[in-house]
Structure 1
Amino acid sequence: MVWAFVIGALTYLWFSDIMLSITITVAILLNLVAASLAGVVIPSILDKMKIDPALSGSVILTTVTDIVGFVTFLGLGSLLLL
């Protein structure tokens, strides 16, 4: 969470735009929350399906965090910046 606020502050210093800074900070925070939830849920689901979580969990987790990251950043950008 600290790095989200650091990046948000650096964005504000670089671009002097508070809405852009808020957008980036919130997008990073939401992506971190989604990654932590997916990191717990995905291996549990794979284990219940009798699939080794070590083999496919990382691929699915990376896909989930990438999708959530793009959607939150672009979605918040279109809601807050337009």
Structure 2
Amino acid sequence: MILALMIAGKVGAVVPIALKKFGMNPAQSSSIVLTTITDIAGFMSFLGIALLLSDMLPRN
């Protein structure tokens, strides 16, 4: 959760600045881009933690 929040904070600061630099309106596009990147990063971080902890599961 902390990793997902850190990524969201950093991306939330960079995406509007990058969109402004490319000549796009950040108010229209940043929420879509930010949500997509945050969801992907959070999902991958949770799957990564699950993969690391999967060795602790009992094996038959």
- The size of the alignment, in residue pairs, is 55
Percent identity between the two aligned chains: 45
Deviating beyond 4 angstroms after TM superposition, the runs of 4 or more aligned structure 1 residues are none
- TM-score, normalization by structure 1: 0.65
Residues 1-82 of structure 1: pairs in structure 2 closer than 5 A: 28-82=1-55
One-letter code of the match for 2:38?
A: T
Root-mean-square deviation (CA, aligned residues, Å) is 0.7
Compute the TM-score of the two structures, normalised by the length of structure 2. 0.87
- Please list every run of 5 or more consecutive structure 2 residues that lacks an aligned counterpart in the other structure: 56-60
The structure, 1 or 2, with the larger RCO (C-alpha pairs under 8 Å, 6+ apart) is 2
More helix by share: 1
Q: Cα offset for 1:81?
A: 3.0
